[in-house]
Amino acid sequence: MSLLEVDDVKITYRMPGDDVHAVNNVSFSIDEGDNYGLVGESGCGKSTIAKSVLGLLDDNGDVRSGSIRFDGRELRDLSERDWMSVRWEDIAYIPQSAMDSLDPVMSVGAQIRQAIRKHRDVSKAKADERVAEVFEMVGLDPTRTGDYPHQFSGGMRQRVTIAMALALDPDLIIADEPTTGLDVIVQDKILNKLMELQEELGSSLLLITHDVGVVAETCDEVSVLYGGKVMEQGDTDRVFRNPTNPYTMGLKNAFPEVDEFDEQAISIPGSLPDLTEEPTSCVFENRCPFATEECGASHPDLVAANEQLSACHHVDEADEMRDQAKDPETWGIDVRNEVERTGGVGDVILETDGLEKWFKQPQGILDDFRGKEPDYVKAVNSVDLTVHEGEIVGVAGESGCGKSTLAEVIAALQDRTGGEITIDATPIDDLLAENTKEFRSQVQFIFQDPFDSLNPRQRVRAAVSEPLKIQGHDPETIDRRVRQTVEDVGLKPADKYLDQLPAQLSGGERQRVAIAQALVLEPTLLICDEPASMLDVSLKANILNILREMADDRDIGIVYISHDLASLTQIADRLAVMYLGRIAEMGATEDVVRTPKHPYTASLLAASPRTDPDADRKRVLLPGEPPNPVNLPTGCNFAPRCPKAGEQCYRGDPERSECTEGDHEAACYFPVEDVETELLERYIEAREDDVEEVLEGGMTP
Amino acid sequence: MSSGYFLDPETVIERLRSQGGRAWRTLRFVLRDNSAKLGFVIIVTFGFMGIFGPMLAPYHPIEDTLQQGGSMMRLQPPGGKAVLGTTSFGKDILSQFLAGARPTLIVGLFGGVGTGVVGFLVGLTSGYFGGRVDEFLMRLTDLTFALPFLPMALVILSFVTPSIWIITAVLVTFLWKMPARVIRSEVMTVKERTFVKSARARGAGHLRTMFLHVAPNVLGIGFLYTAYAVGWSIVAGASLAFLGFGDPTTTSWGRMLEQVFRSGAIRVAWWWVLPPAIGIGAVTTGVFLVGRAFEEIVNPDLQTEQE
């Protein structure tokens, strides 16, 4: 008998007007000790299923039919009192955002202890022992149980929630996007820990994520969900090696591997089906390039295909579909003749020289009075960056490395504290001195969050025409250029979109409006701060394509900032890797990715999860966390975490010219030659030798 | 200064029109609530009385003294010539009630709107600019918070002859702090949202960003507090009148209550006490009922309501 059996479950949400059929006839089962993955994009019903297993559906959600059995016991019939004993005791939960799931006014130890004592009749001392134990299990320093959540970094807080989930030795752990929002290196460490623990404890894991790579690396079995339906189900390796369902193919191909330069990522056209009625056709029909009449008639049942189950009317043509699905043209994407990525194609459009942005730390009035030099956070520290016309320069780095600050300083949204910025051979101060209008017409910005970057009260027309109005153009020109730009970013026909409010648009459409806002002034430099990171994977490629097109056709220089290496390698001509306010490595994207010189770059690249289930990847167990940016160590910033660091690294800070190979520069005295032996294996050794040091990692702000 | 720092008239008109549409939609939404309907009926009746009351009154509220059989009708219970009875000076209470609606309406409406507008602008400026501006304006609100309303108002009104406009001005002086505080904190939240930064990146100046991007997103709360301020103003105006600091030349509901108290007949002459008391109570309740229904949309999701 399986540990958890979800059988033919239907869940609806009552909404004013219509019911939303969030989950439709989903079945799966998890065996004891197994890792099960539910993968799909937002709105596919994966979190709803998790909540129903925990009995924590929102008030307007109902399990309409089907059964959820845990250890042979029907969970749907449980009373609230019964639930109390099942939750945490048998089924524990690791929520997505560890930032919000811990009580900020209670020490983390007390929160775990509370969970223990709620269920077990044990003394406080006994409970504390257990807290220390689970802390040790997840690799946290047991002496820190008295600390409060804000004293931990994001990754450490996620460990605390894992520790909390483990406290009662549950049979099943449900992890809802446990690493989303964490940096790749931290993600790698957390996943590694989770797998290790599970091995040790023998509990089952239900992992919910949108990241195909994470599932492919961690789960034994997987269900691919779309529109509240299981599209494909089976052994993870088989499902991702030989997908038999067009949706799985699309999803997998939308995740480019970091080092795949030749394959263009695809994006799935269209948007999610309307779930206000029970689906009568295949839920994927409206976006599927292989759809036929048959697909419109009914939603296919799950049928055996190869050795997995797939819900597709054309399972028998799976092999042909799989080949075609790799071709972006199948998905309606114009394949552009790859312009030779050389870098430095046109004139220099942006040049920064020793750019600095230091944030002054607050200090006491007394210290001020005594003339004490305040502490600074060196968010951007002597950065030299050059962008040419028609070139996309990627800036990669983890959160807190200063990449967003760099973007905003270049766009004059923040003042710089040192160095020079030159735009089109004019110093930025001269541009700003006259009036900002001129500057704004040359430099534009695209923000990360399309759900927040449009004024909810402004219609598309008003939003896109605003920059032109500010520049003082006449109404006719405005109207013409607005229409042109809106269509250029793929919102066709323009009339359909111009009178919409942002709330009426999907995430992808909103981001296009934001891009149109930026492009309508025909800037020469465009700065994009994670423009695709809030979008579903199937939409990402589209945004990247638009940007690429703009760079090629309009000769715009683009600075593309992201933590997502895979999308950077897809789009960027040259790549800069930032660590703690400095550029650690810079060069043509292919050179940087193929032959990283700086140990940090190499670690970052190695930490990206692979969607190919066959890929055997060593986890990046980079010790510690980035040091506190207020008191940076002297010498190379990365030295304390670097296995290759020598005495020289602690004494002097290497210049970027320290290690050069053509255009490829790295600020390192001892560049990496072999990632495997020099870094990955050394990390594991370092970890075994000195666990304590790992625990004493500093905090990220 | 470049034109980016000014609002072009076209944009302003377009904005106002869309805000008008929004107001209409919001009103319809508010009126789906039954108690809000009741409140709305009360407010409309009150508005009608405020405008036409003095014309509808059968007698002049102060000049006409009712006579019956050659003697003054003193403290007559309802009936006969005086539908709602008379005062101790033989004045018709119905007429006083109808005529008294106007000053109450003026104090309520202008006091409320004035409070809303001043509070909104102060809150917007303070929250948007932050820093020294914020420091200055917020210390000013702290000061008004620290001053007790009634004693201060009484002191001011002792030095000037109270007129209805002066009373309204005094009310605004003491009430603007409430919306200012709330709007400020709301603006500080909205200001951090990306679209505000985005507007700056597109080249919008401060004025444009403040009024076209930040203001519309806190307008709901502004209206809510304006509605509440109408209620507060009516109550506060009536309190001042009751204490004898109302406009001596007009009849208001608060002044009616003052007179019944002074006459010593407050325990017996229920017909004299109830109309103004019920009037004040009903109008403020009406305002709050509509305000409450409105609050449900403002808080938390005004954005989703329009789809």
Structural domains in chain B plus CATH codes: 34-306 (1.10.3720.10)
Q: CA-based Rg of chain A, rounded to a whole angstrom?
A: 26
Rounded Cα distance between B94 and B85, Å, is: 8
Cβ B194–A471 below 8 Å, yes or no? Answer: no
Two structure tokens written together for B30: 């508010």
Asked if A193 and A179 touch (Cβ cutoff 8 Å), the reply is no
Q: Are residues A143 and A288 in the same domain?
A: no
Domain-located, residue A239: no
State the alpha helices, DSSP H only, in A138-208: 154-166, 184-201
Question: Mean pLDDT in each 10-residue stretch from start to end of chain A (701 residues)?
Answer: 87 83 89 89 85 86 88 86 85 80 88 88 89 86 86 82 87 86 81 84 88 87 90 89 87 79 73 79 85 84 82 84 81 63 67 86 76 80 88 87 88 86 85 79 86 85 88 88 87 84 82 89 89 77 83 88 85 89 88 87 84 73 72 79 82 80 84 75 64 43 36
Q: Do the beta carbons of residue B258 and residue B242 sit within 8 Å?
A: yes
Q: State residue A395's pLDDT score.
A: 92
Q: Which residue has the tokens 């009351």?
A: B53
CA distances A578 to A371, A415, A561, Å, are 33, 20, 10
Nearest residue in chain B measured CA to CA from A16: B305
Range of the domain at A687: 595-693
B292 close to A (CB below 8 A): no
Q: Which residues of B touch A444 (CB under 8 A)?
A: 201-202
Alpha-carbon gap, residue B188 to B102, rounded angstroms: 38
Give A472→chain B minimum CA distance, Å: 7
The H or E element that residue A25 is part of is strand A19-30
Q: Give the separation between CA B199 and CA A196, rounded to whole angstroms.
A: 48
**Per residue in A466-514, pLDDT tens?**
888 888 888 888 999 999 888 888 887 888 888 888 888 877 888 889 9
Shared-domain flag, residues A420 and A405: yes
**Taking a C-beta distance cutoff of 8 angstroms, is the pair A93, A176 a contact?**
yes
**Lowest-pLDDT choice from A280-289, A378-387, B180-189, B292-301:** B292-301
| Together in a domain, A290 and A207 | no
Q: B107-110, long-range: CB within 8 Å, 24+ apart, which pairs? A: B107/B164, B107/B167, B107/B168, B107/B171, B107/B233, B107/B234, B107/B237, B107/B252, B108/B230, B108/B231, B108/B233, B108/B234, B108/B237, B108/B283, B108/B287, B109/B230, B110/B165, B110/B168, B110/B233
The Cα A662–Cα A677 span in angstroms is 26
Whole-number Å distance between alpha carbons of A159 and A142: 12
Decide if A700 is inside a domain. Answer: no
A537 and A580 co-located in one domain = yes
Q: Do B195 and A455 touch (CB under 8 A)?
A: yes
Hey, are the CB atoms on A441 and B2 less than 8 Å from each other?
A: no
Q: What is the pLDDT of residue B33?
A: 76
Residue A237, in any domain of the structure: no
A192 contacts A619 by C-beta, under 8 angstroms: yes
Structure tokens given for B229 = 């301020």
Tell me the three state secondary structure of residue A42.
Answer: coil
Residues of B whose CB is below 8 A from A455: 195, 199, 212-213, 216-217
* pLDDT (0 to 100) of residue A690: 47
A202 assigned to some structural domain: yes
Domain assignment present for residue A139? The answer is yes
- CATH number of the domain that residue A449 is part of: 3.40.50.300
Q: Tokens 């009036």: give the residue.
A: A435
Between B306 and A377, name the one with better pLDDT. Answer: A377
- The number of beta carbons lying within 10 Å of the beta carbon of residue A677 is 10
Distance from CA of A275 to the nearest CA of B (A): 17
A359 vs A416: CA distance, rounded Å: 10
pTM of the model: 0.79
State whether A582 and A603 are in the same domain: no
Q: Which of A331, A358, A382 is the last residue of a domain?
A: A331
Spatial separation of the C-alpha atoms in residues A406 and B34, rounded to whole Å: 54
In a domain, residue A231? The reply is: no
Q: What is the pLDDT of residues B94-152, one digit of tens each?
A: 888 888 888 888 888 899 999 999 999 999 999 999 888 888 999 988 888 888 888 88
Token output for B173: 């002086």
Distance CA A390, CA A344 (A): 8
- What pLDDT does residue A338 have? 54
| Chain A residues inside the 8 Å CB shell of B8 | 469
Q: How far apart are CA B88 and CA B71, in angstroms?
A: 13
* B203 interface with A at CB cutoff 8 Å: yes
Give me the number of domains chain A comprises. 4
Q: Which residues contact residue B214 at a Cβ distance below 8 angstroms, ignoring those fewer than 6 apart?
A: B124, B128, B187, B190, B191, B196
Is A338 a domain residue? Answer: no
Closest CB from B10, B18, B194 relative to A447: B194
Greater model confidence, B75 or B187: B187
Shared domain for A117 and A250, answered yes or no, is no
Phi, psi of A472 (to 5 degrees): 80, 35
Q: Within this chain, do residues A290 and A263 fall inside the same structural domain, yes or no?
A: yes
Same domain assignment for residues A604 and A569: no
Helix boundaries (H) for A268-338 = 293-297, 318-325
- How many H helices and E strands in chain B? 12, 2
**Residue A89 within any structural domain of the chain:** yes
CB contact under 8 A, A471 and B4: yes
Alpha helices by DSSP H, A502-559: 507-519, 537-554
End-to-end, the C-alpha distance of chain A in Å comes to: 47
Q: Which two tokens stand for residue A114?
A: 């509370």
Q: What is the ipTM of this complex?
A: 0.74
Residue A59, min C-alpha distance to chain B (Å): 17
Contacts of B204 in chain A (CB under 8 A): 466, 470
Q: Considering A190, A224, A258, which residue would you say is the last residue of a domain?
A: A224
* pLDDT of the residue at B124: 92
Start-to-end CA span in chain B (Å)? 39
Q: Residue A688 belongs to what H/E stretch?
A: helix A681-689
Q: Which of A590, A621, A641 is the last residue of a domain?
A: A590
Residue in chain A lying closest to B18 (CA): A457
The CA-CA-CA angle for residues A320, A326, A328, to 5°, reads 120
The reply to whether residue B4 touches residue A437, judged by beta carbons under 8 angstroms, is: yes
- Distance of alpha carbon A558 from alpha carbon A544, whole angstroms: 12
DSSP three-state, residue A67: strand
Ranges assigned E (strand) in A227-375: 229-235, 302-305, 308-311, 348-360
pLDDT bin (cut points 50, 70, 90) of residue B300 is very low
**Per-residue confidence (pLDDT) for residue B306, from 0 to 100:** 38
For residues A315 and A426, state if they share a domain: no
Residue B92 is classified by DSSP as B
A55 torsion bin: left (phi>0), alpha (psi -120 to 50), beta (else): left
Whether A471 and B8 lie within 8 Å, measured CB to CB: no
- Supply A194's token pair: 């989770």
CA A155 from centre of chain: 14
Task: Select the residue from B202, B210, B221 to test the A interface by mutation, using most A Cβ atoms within 10 A.
Answer: B202
Q: Based on the fold, state whether residues A135 and A216 are members of the same structural domain.
A: yes
Per-residue pLDDT, averaged over B13-17, amounts to: 77
| Chain A residues within 8 A of B14 when measuring between CB atoms | 462
**Do residue A119 and residue A151 come from a single domain?**
yes
| CA proximity to B213, closest of B200, B224, B226, B230 | B200
Strands laid side by side in the A73-74 sheet: A19-30, A4-14, A61-70, A73-74
Shared-domain flag, residues A519 and A634: no
Residue pair A384/A422 in contact by the 8 Å Cβ criterion = no
Query: What gap in Å lies between CA A442 and CA A439, rounded to an integer?
Result: 5
Q: Does B4 touch chain A (CB under 8 A)?
A: yes
Indicate the pairing of strand A308-311 with strand A348-360.
unpaired
Q: Can you read off the two tokens belonging to residue A483?
A: 């229409």
C-alpha to C-alpha distance for B100 and A58, rounded to whole angstroms: 52
